[in-house]
Chain A
Amino acid sequence: MSSVLEQLVNKPYEHGFRTDIETESAPKGLSEDTIRLISSKKNEPEWLLEFRLKAYRHWLTMEEPHWPNVKYPKIDFQDIIYYSAPKPKKKKSMDEVDPELLRTFEKLGVPMNERAALAGVAVDVIFDSVSVATTYKEKLAKVGIIFCSISEAVRDHPDLVRKYLGSVVPPGDNYYAALNSAVFTDGSFVFIPKGVKCPMELSTYFRINTENSGQFERTLIVAEEDASVSYLEGCTAPKFDTNQLHAAVVELVALDRADIKYSTVQNWYAGDENGLGGIYNFVTKRGLCKGVSSKISWTQVETGSAITWKYPSCILLGDNSIGEFYSVALTNHHQQADTGTKMVHLGKNTRSTIISKGISAGQSNNSYRGLVKIGAKAAGARNYSQCDSMLIGSKSGANTFPYIQVNNPTATVEHEATTSKIGEDQLFYFRQRGIGTEEAVSMIINGFCKEVFQQLPMEFAVEATKLLGLKLEGSVG
């Protein structure tokens, strides 16, 4: 493919800067002592320390997974700082938030105070593992919604956290989930009580800042009977040379007729043109449709990270429950992504939809890996999967690994897959109509991703469109 394509793909990361804020860090390395330190720093109750230690001891017995279609040097888990927090000053209002931190968000194009107010979005800012500002909390509290950092939740709503933490992703679920369970420092907690429709989109901006500090976020969202919520997670990270491990766990619980929509736009540092640096994003995201007719919908736009290893999943336990997965994964340069979903149908007449769009440019490798499992009792279960791949240039790769297990004869499972390529003739067609290459690529890509973008909340869809354009700028030609 010609040079414009390459230029477009080769645009340097724009958010490559770091903020100087004094941080308080634990020494490098992982041991029971590290875990006790984290737990005591956070004044945690005994049960949570036990939860962590149990997870840690289990982790010690586990092996790093090697089945994903990604390659990376061995991670030295003793070379990671497991706890770092901005010096604890009391933060009460946005005015008291460290101005340097606010400037960071400005640079990222997230003028959060105005944005939050204007867009009606409550932003729970996560800055190096500790939430420093939460807006709209009071307004939400009026309708009984809890939206806070998980540390605050542990302090203020211990029974809720204890009841649901680890109930969807058990501490020993997988290597990185076990690690997260042992050392997670912060994250978000959302609780929507019975019958409440959350009046606004809830939003968190993540940002990894301290060099060598692994981020172990823990997010727990519970929607009780007839409740509904839409949660947005968006991320960018500054540029560093050493790889940063990110192993988050997200758990969603939907009770009878509850509806949870979880949207992610991810743009972490992906490494330079030679694949150096960049985030390792090994995430466990899982939702449990526990109640009848409940619904969990994952929408993700993955554009960053050196390596992405992520399968937002739905366990469809309640009869008539619905699981959805809409994904755009874009890889460029030497990025590697092995991502997809798992839909596990356990209840009767459960339904799931999977729409996955993979875009690979440069020398990147983009794999879709999905499991559709229909249990023996899931009579009448239905799944529809569509996995489309688009290649830009001739050095990128795309793979699809669909796994289908059907144990009930009344189930219907459909799978469709396509692979296409942005060709010179397509681009020439646009250019002959006066439309420049970059706009053409952005239009083709957005067309390709339309079914997924339609699922995103409005502001997010605009951001996602811009982001894909940026990521591919200079890559096509």
Chain B
Amino acid sequence: MKNEKGPELLDVRALTAKVAGVPILKGIDLPVRAGEIHAIMGPNGSGKSTFAKVLAGHPAYEVTGGTVRFQGHDLLTMEPEDRARAGIFLGFQYPVEIPGVSNSAFLRLAYNTVQGARGKDELDPLEFDDFIREKMKLLDIDPAFLDRSVNEGFSGGEKKRNEILQLAVLEPKLAILDETDSGLDIDALRVVAGGVNSMLKPDNAFVLVTHYQRLLNYIIPDYVHVMEGGRIIKTGGKELALELESRGYDWVVDEYRAGEQEKGYVGASAA
């Protein structure tokens, strides 16, 4: 963990949410400061992806309680596009295909919209072409990407690289990457990790949602959180990820339950 602390970017408190009437998030607290990398790990169905989507404002998820402040603003009242313009980026676990819309047109519109909202200059198609080709070179992405339809016919690895390219183009303050590592071969994993490492700056932060420790061999997190049953049940440093890799999740869950029982016992006796 780092000693000098950046300004607070995100402050999640007691966040609860449901989808299709089913409660998924049951009280999440998470502070994220600039310059930090957080990893959220946990078994399938623990609510990791839901948490990522709720932060980005997916309309299918209903927030039922708690607060989320982003750079001091109430994030939960903002539309998804306004969150994006303010600097929230979600790297999708399953990026959708958009037939007929070229990657370059999509990227340019997204870039210019976000730049405009941030009071910066928009780029015309030629300027943007220079800009994007530079980014692609850095990320070792084939320029042929630009002429293809967004994600259409892309392999799993290509889709994830495309997410990282969008991340590089939009330069968000807070990037949430939802299982960006899943389904990647080792080369693609290196590209993704290299992208994240090169983009981390003192004024931005990353939240990596991941099921496996593998990604964390390439990206060293400041914090590792374990999620289970819609709550963060344990927070530690990077060594926690290694421990999870060797011991699995069960012991954390057991430890948490024992702790809760104890609290319940203490609470009962105090009353």
A418 to B57, CA, bound (A): 31
Q: Which residues, 189 to 231 on B, are CB-close (under 8 Å) to A?
A: none
Bitwise interface map of A from 414 to 425 toward B, beta carbon under 8 Å scored 1, else 0: 000000100111
Q: Which residue of A lies closest to B92 (CB)?
A: A429
- Residue pair B81, A434 in contact (C-beta under 8 Å): yes
Against B, the Cβ 8 Å flags (1 = close, 0 = not) of A110-154 are 000000000000000000000000000000000000000000000
Query: B59, A448: Cβ atoms under 8 Å?
Result: no
Q: Answer whether A435 and B100 are a contact pair too, CB < 8 Å, given A424-B60, A443-B106.
A: no
B: interface residue count bin = 20 to 34
Partner of A434, one of B100, B110, B149: B110
User: Could you tell me the distance between the alpha carbons of A17 and B80 in the complex, rounded to whole angstroms?
Assistant: 38
| Docked-complex contact B81 and A446, CB < 8 angstroms | no
Most buried by B among A2, A428, A446: A428
Nearest residue, chain A, Cβ from B97: A426
Any chain A CB within 8 A of the CB of B79? Answer: yes
Determine the residue in chain A with the shortest Cβ distance to B86: A434
Complex interface residues of chain B between 101 and 133 (CB less than 8 A to chain A):
101-102, 105-106, 109-110, 113-114, 117
A420 to B101, CA, bound (A): 15
Find chain B residues with CB under 8 A from A2 CB: 59
Contacts of B79 in A (CB 8 A): 431
Shortest Cβ distance from residue A386 to the other chain B in the assembled complex, whole angstroms: 13
- Which residues from chain B contact A433 at a C-beta distance below 8 Å? 84, 106, 110, 113-114, 166, 170
Instruction: Decide: B101 and A443 in contact? CB cutoff 8 A.
Output: yes
Whether A431 contacts B101 by the Cβ 8 Å rule is no
Q: Residue B58 at the A interface, CB < 8 A? A: yes
Q: Output the nearest chain B residue to A447 by Cβ-Cβ distance.
A: B100
Q: Which of A430-448 contact B (CB under 8 A)?
A: 430-437, 439, 443-444, 446-448
Are A428 and B80 in contact, CB atoms less than 8 angstroms apart? yes
Asked if B1 is an interface residue, CB under 8 A from chain A, the answer is no
A440-B67 Cα distance, complex, nearest whole Å = 29
Flag if A436 contacts B149 (CB, 8 Å): no
Give complex CA distance A436, B92 in Å.
Answer: 18
| Least CB separation from A433: chain B residue | B110
B170 proximity list for chain A (CB < 8 A): 433-434
| CB of B135, distance to nearest CB on chain A (Å) | 15
**What's the minimum C-beta distance from B167 to chain A, rounded to whole angstroms?**
10
Determine the chain B residues whose CB is within 8 A of the CB of A434 once the complex forms.
Answer: 81, 84-85, 110, 113-114, 117, 170
Given A432-B56, A434-B85, A435-B110, A426-B80 contact (CB < 8 Å)? no
Q: Which of A387-440 contact B (CB under 8 A)?
A: 420, 423-426, 428-437, 439
Complex interface residues of chain B between 163 and 190 (CB less than 8 A to chain A): 166, 170
CB of B84 within 8 A of CB of A432, answer yes
Contact A447 B109 (CB under 8 A): no
Most B Cβ at <10 Å: residue of A424, A425, A434: A434
Flag B43-70 by CB within 8 Å of A: 1 or 0 each. 0000000000000111110000000000
Give B209 Cβ to nearest chain A Cβ, in Å. Answer: 15
Chain B nearest Cβ from A426, distance in angstroms: 5
| Closest residue on chain B to residue A451 by CB atoms | B100
Contact with A along B77-100 (1 / 0, CB 8 A): 001110111000110100110111
Q: Pick the contact of B80: A431, A443, A446 (CB < 8 A).
A: A431
B81 engages A424 (CB within 8 Å): no
Nearest CB in chain A to that of B99: its residue:
A447
Q: What is the minimal beta-carbon distance from B242 to any residue of chain A, in angstroms?
A: 32
Assess A435 versus B96: contact at CB under 8 Å? Given A2-B59, A428-B59. no
Chain A residue nearest to B114 (CB atoms) is A434
- Report if A432-B85 is in contact (Cβ < 8 Å); known contacts: A443-B106, A447-B98: no
- A155 CB within 8 Å of chain B: no
* Nearest chain B CB to A28 CB, angstrom units: 47
B80 touches A432 (CB 8 A): yes
Tell me the minimal C-beta distance from B39 to chain A in angstroms: 21
Given contacts A432-B56, A439-B109, A447-B101, contact A425 B96 (CB under 8 A): yes
CA distance A439 to B89 in the complex (A): 19
Q: Which of A423, A428, A432, A447 contacts B149 (CB 8 A)?
A: A447
Contact of A444 among B90, B98, B102 (CB under 8 A): B98
Find chain B residues with CB under 8 A from A439 CB.
109, 113
A42 within 8 A of B: no
| Cα distance, A148 to B237, chains bound together (Å) | 82
Q: Which residues of A contact B89 (CB under 8 A)?
A: 432
User: A residues within 8 A CB of B114?
Assistant: 433-434
A431-B84, A432-B90, A433-B166 known; A424 and B59 CB under 8 Å?
Answer: yes
- Please give the distance in Å from A248's CB to the nearest CB on chain B: 31
Q: Which residues of B contact A443 (CB under 8 A)?
A: 98, 101, 105-106, 109
Asked if A450 is at the interface of the complex by the 8 Å CB criterion, the answer is: yes
Other A-B pairs beyond A423-B96, A430-B110, 19, CB < 8 Å:
A429-B92, A429-B96, A431-B80, A431-B81, A432-B89, A433-B106, A433-B114, A434-B81, A434-B84, A434-B113, A434-B117, A435-B109, A435-B110, A435-B113, A436-B81, A443-B109, A444-B101, A446-B100, A447-B101
Which B residues lie at the A interface, using CB under 8 A? 56-60, 79-81, 83-85, 89-90, 92, 95-96, 98-102, 105-106, 109-110, 113-114, 117, 149, 166, 170
Q: Ordered nearest first, which 4 A-B pairs have the shortest CB separation?
A: A447-B100, A447-B101, A433-B110, A431-B80
